[in-house]
């Protein structure tokens, strides 16, 4: 390995095989530190509020919110582990060893796949709620949704292990020097992963939400025609439909933001085999992770129950006896 004169080594005692530290100006260093401290903290804090809100208040224990809880858990892990480790990995030396590098890469794959799976489940939930509302309470139950969420995480862990198992047998085999944490997926595996974890799920999400949109528009028109002629016995039905349509719109925004953040990452992966180690692909990788910070902001913007729950949490009303039974809607 060639080393520039005066370059600072990650491991000085391994002068012949150590990576060099990246040289950066004071402004770049300060910017990195701000990003390192602000974005992960904000991501962890916001998603922790979502987790506490849905877990604590029984009124929020609905199938849709269980799916949002699973998504919040994955986003929380991104802020707690993936973003800090990723920033250190791309801007400094990797001092945590080859085993931690393997675990970091494996965990990031699991979280990404689980997030995509959660989005597919959310689109299915909205499709049944809008297009087949009469059978929704019997077909989409809390127990079934919890089972689907568990299967989503389990399948994600098993599926991604097939891609990284060879790296476990020979840790650090793609590293060119000590102090490096390289992510490498060959073209065939990368293409297969692209199809199974992005193209197919995005196709399913798009088709289902197009159907939801068409049905939602027709239902909205039908409800407007009943505004003046609806009788008392129809008021509950209309109110329920409005609630479902509002939830569909909110989760539709969630889907759009998800696609905006994920599509560039997978598009770049088509041409970049060594995706996470390419400086040209650094932006799309950080955009992918930033989605975890945007999701709870969407909840705060569109869900009154989330804003109310956050108020109760910050004012410590959540610690009062029986607070889990409070009316949060």
pLDDT (0 to 100) of residue 96:
81
pLDDT score for 231: 46
What gap in Å lies between CA 75 and CA 37, rounded to an integer?
16
Helix (H, G, I), strand (E, B) or coil at 175: coil
CA 315 from chain center: how many Å?
Answer: 28
Q: Which tokens in the block code for residue 223?
A: 């409800």
Is residue 58 within 8 A of residue 325, CB to CB? The reply is yes
Cα–Cα distance measured from residue 214 to residue 209, given in angstroms and rounded to the nearest whole number: 8
Is residue 82 within 8 A of residue 169, CB to CB? The reply is: no
pLDDT (0 to 100) of residue 5: 46
Retrieve residue 307's tokens. Answer: 């804003």
CA–CA dist 160, 148 (Å, integer): 18
Q: Is the dihedral of CA 120, 125, 130, 136 positive or negative?
A: positive
241 vs 235: CA distance, rounded Å: 10
Residues 6+ apart with CB under 8 A from 274: 182, 183, 184
Tokens standing for residue 193:
């992963």
25: its two tokens: 């100006």
| DSSP, residue by residue, 274-293 | TGGG-GGGHHHHHHHHHHHH
Say if residues 39 and 78 touch (Cβ distance below 8 Å). no
Asked if the 33-226+236-325 domain carries CATH number 1.20.1070.10, the reply is yes
Tokens encoding 122: 């959310």
Question: In 3-state terms, what secondary structure has residue 99?
Answer: helix
Identify the segments of the chain with pLDDT beneath 70: 1-7, 11-18, 21-33, 35-36, 91, 172, 219-248, 269-281
| Nearest one of 240, 241, 238 to 228, comparing CA atoms | 238
pLDDT of residue 14: 67
Q: What's the residue count for the chain? A: 329
Burial grade of 134 (CB within 10 A; 0-12, 13-18, 19 or more):
exposed
Instruction: Find where tokens 């389990």 sit.
Output: 154
Residue 118: per-residue pLDDT: 93
pLDDT of residue 214: 80
Kindly list the domain boundaries of the chain, sorted by start residue.
33-226+236-325
Give me the pLDDT at residue 88, please: 74
Q: Which residue has the tokens 């991104």?
A: 78
């Amino acid at each position: 390995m060639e080393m520039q004169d005066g370059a600072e080594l990650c491991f000085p005692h391994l002068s012949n095989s150590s990576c060099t530290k990246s040289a950066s100006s004071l402004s770049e260093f300060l910017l990195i530190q701000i990003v390192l401290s602000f974005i992960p903290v904000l991501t962890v804090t916001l998603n922790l509020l979502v987790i506490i809100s849905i877990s604590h208040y029984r009124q929020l224990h609905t199938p849709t919110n269980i799916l949002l809880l699973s998504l919040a858990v994955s986003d929380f892990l991104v802020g707690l582990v993936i973003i800090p480790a990723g920033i250190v990995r791309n801007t400094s030396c990797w001092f945590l060893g080859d085993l931690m590098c393997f675990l970091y890469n494996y965990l990031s794959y699991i979280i990404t796949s689980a997030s995509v799976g959660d989005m597919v489940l959310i689109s299915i939930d909205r499709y049944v709620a809008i297009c087949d509302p009469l059978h929704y309470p019997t077909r989409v139950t809390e127990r079934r949704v919890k089972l689907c969420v568990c299967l989503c995480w389990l399948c994600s862990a098993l599926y991604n292990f097939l891609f990284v198992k060879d790296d476990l047998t020979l840790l650090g085999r793609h590293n060119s020097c000590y102090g490096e944490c390289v992510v490498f997926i060959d073209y065939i595996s990368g293409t297969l992963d692209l199809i199974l974890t992005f193209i197919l799920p995005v196709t399913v999400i798009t088709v289902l939400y197009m159907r939801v949109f068409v049905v939602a528009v027709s239902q909205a028109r039908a409800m407007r025609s009943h505004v003046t002629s609806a009788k008392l016995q129809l008021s509950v039905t209309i109110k329920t439909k409005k609630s479902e349509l509002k939830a569909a719109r909110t989760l539709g925004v969630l889907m759009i933001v998800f696609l905006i953040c994920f599509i560039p990452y997978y598009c770049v992966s088509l041409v970049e085999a060594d995706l996470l180690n390419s400086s040209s692909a650094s932006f799309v990788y950080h955009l992918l992770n930033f989605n975890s910070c945007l999701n709870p902001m969407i909840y705060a913007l569109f869900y009154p129950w989330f804003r109310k729950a956050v108020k109760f949490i910050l004012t410590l009303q959540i610690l009062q006896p029986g607070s889990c039974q409070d009316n949060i809607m």
